[in-house]
Amino acid sequence: MPHAGLMNERSMGPEEGPLFRAKLHIRGGRRRLRQGKFSAAVVTLSDALNGALEWYVASPERRGMLSIEHGDNLNEDRSIYNLLVRSKVLDGRFDFDAFDRLVERALHEELRWLDYGETLKGIESVMLQLGVMPFDEAALPPEDPATY
C-alpha cells in the first residue's frame, strides 16, 4: 500500500493516522489509475475512503454533530457513509454501493480496463465534502516506487 514505510499510523493517533493514510492513498490511487493498474488503484482508493471515514468519526467534536442512531456501526464504512449522508455531511451523490461492487471485483480479479473518470470524481467529491481535500501533495513524504 502507498503508506508502507511512510508512516506509523498507530503512533499518530486516531485522527491524524487515518487522515494521513487517506491522503497518501488518494495520491497513490491516482498514480495507479494513470499507470493502468486498475485493480490496485480501486483497492487503494477504497482504503483512502476508509481512512477518511474513520478520521471523520474519530473526532468527538465532529461525531457529536452527527445523527447517530441505535445500530449505526462506526467501525463499518457503509454504515459511516450512510450516517454522514443522513447527517447532511455528505450529499449522497456518490454511489457507495456501485463502488463497493467495483472494489469486490478488484479484489478478486485484475481489472484490465476501467473508465475511472466518474469513480475518481465521486471519491474526490466525498473527500472534498469531508474536508480531507484539498491538500498539498508536496507536504507528503515522497512516494516509494517499490510500493507497486
Higher pLDDT, 13 or 110: 110
- What lies within 8 Å, CB to CB, of 148 at 6+ separation is 32, 37, 40
Model confidence pLDDT, tens digit, residues 26-85: 999 999 999 999 999 999 999 999 999 999 999 999 999 999 999 999 999 999 999 999
**Rounded Cα–Cα distance for residues 64 and 57 (Å):** 9
Model confidence pLDDT, tens digit, residues 83-122: 999 999 999 999 999 999 999 999 999 999 888 999 999 9
Q: Which three cell numbers stand for residue 33?
A: 489509475
Phi first, then psi, for residue 3 (nearest 5°) are: -95, -5
User: What pLDDT does 137 receive?
Assistant: 86
Respond yes or no on whether the N-terminal peptide bond of residue 18 is cis (omega within 30° of 0).
no
